[in-house]
């Protein structure tokens, strides 16, 4: 991927200034513009001011920790987030990904690998955006990919980034059965270890928001032993 095709800075949030400078050096060698923040409060302020295309986020931060920064960002933005931390336990990886992070790198890390992961996430996002032009609708449920909005009976719905991605994938291929593994790979493309029941949790919360009766879903249907599918159009 040519970084010249990417507009906007990458926000690097890291309280260790040597590490931050090293990451900045490797990113700028690849032609990316960068902005540095050394604590969580500054990160949120710079994210609002610069509208970054990507955020590299350390978890162990002063003022506001990385968990809360990610949680706050995900209230209003689906900017790609790569979490950078010394923690390597599976529970921390799953927690970060469940909050809405797109990737996870454990210190010590290779700066070249980090840049490669940034490029991969940006490439996936750009490829998806080229095919995300048409409004998806089924009955009173409408998803607008360009505006990244979802409405039901004309009322806007507040979905998490993972809920939005799941709904978009399912609505784009009504009738197709998606296995849990396929949906995991779609939400967590970096190959992090995530149990398949994470998908069930996301689907359950999504159903509560879009279904009139989540125990008898009309939109997202369970295919026993396989996974999930979106209801096919009635043809009306």
- The mean per-residue pLDDT over the stretch 181-185 comes to 84
d(CA 204, CA 163): 10
Domains in the chain, start-ordered, CATH in brackets? 3-130 (3.40.50.2300), 136-230 (1.10.10.10)
DSSP reduced 3-state for 116:
helix
pLDDT of residue 236: 37
- Comparing 5-9, 12-16, 83-87, the range with the smallest average pLDDT is 5-9
- The mean per-residue pLDDT over the stretch 107-117 comes to 91
Q: How many CB atoms lie within 10 A of CB 33?
A: 15
Whether the Cβ atoms of residue 144 and residue 135 lie closer than 8 Å to each other: yes
What are the pLDDT digits (tens) for 204-222? 999 999 999 988 999 999 9
Q: Is the pLDDT of residue 33 over 90?
A: yes
pLDDT of residue 75: 83
Whether the Cβ atoms of residue 55 and residue 30 lie closer than 8 Å to each other: no
Q: Is the pLDDT of residue 3 over 50?
A: no
pLDDT of residue 16: 94
Q: To the nearest whole percent, how much of the chain has pLDDT over 70?
A: 84
In terms of phi and psi (left: phi > 0; alpha: psi -120 to 50; beta: otherwise), the region of 170 is: alpha
What are the pLDDT digits (tens) for 59-88? 889 999 998 999 899 888 889 999 987 766
């Amino acid at each position: 991927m040519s970084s010249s095709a990417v507009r906007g800075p990458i926000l690097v949030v890291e309280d260790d200034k040597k590490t931050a400078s090293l990451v900045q050096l490797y990113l700028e060698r690849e032609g990316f513009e960068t902005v540095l923040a050394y604590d969580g409060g500054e990160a949120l302020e710079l994210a609002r001011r610069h509208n970054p295309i990507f955020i590299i986020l350390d978890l162990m931060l002063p003022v506001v920790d990385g968990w809360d920064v990610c949680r706050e960002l995900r209230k209003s933005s689906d900017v790609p987030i790569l979490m950078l931390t010394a923690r390597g336990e599976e529970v921390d990886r799953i927690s970060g990904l469940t909050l809405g992070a797109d990737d996870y790198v454990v210190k010590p890390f290779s700066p070249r690998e980090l840049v490669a992961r940034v490029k991969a996430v940006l490439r996936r996002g750009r490829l998806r955006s080229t095919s995300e032009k048409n409004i998806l609708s089924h009955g009173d449920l409408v998803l607008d990919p360009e505006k990244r909005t979802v409405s039901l009976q004309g009322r806007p719905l507040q979905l998490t980034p993972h809920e939005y991605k799941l709904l978009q994938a399912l609505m784009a291929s009504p009738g197709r059965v998606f296995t849990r593994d396929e949906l995991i790979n779609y939400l967590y493309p970096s190959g992090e270890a995530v149990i398949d029941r994470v998908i069930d949790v996301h689907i359950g919360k999504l159903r509560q928001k879009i279904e009139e009766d989540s125990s008898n879903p009309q939109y997202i249907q369970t295919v026993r032993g396989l996974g999930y599918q979106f209801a096919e159009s009635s043809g009306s």
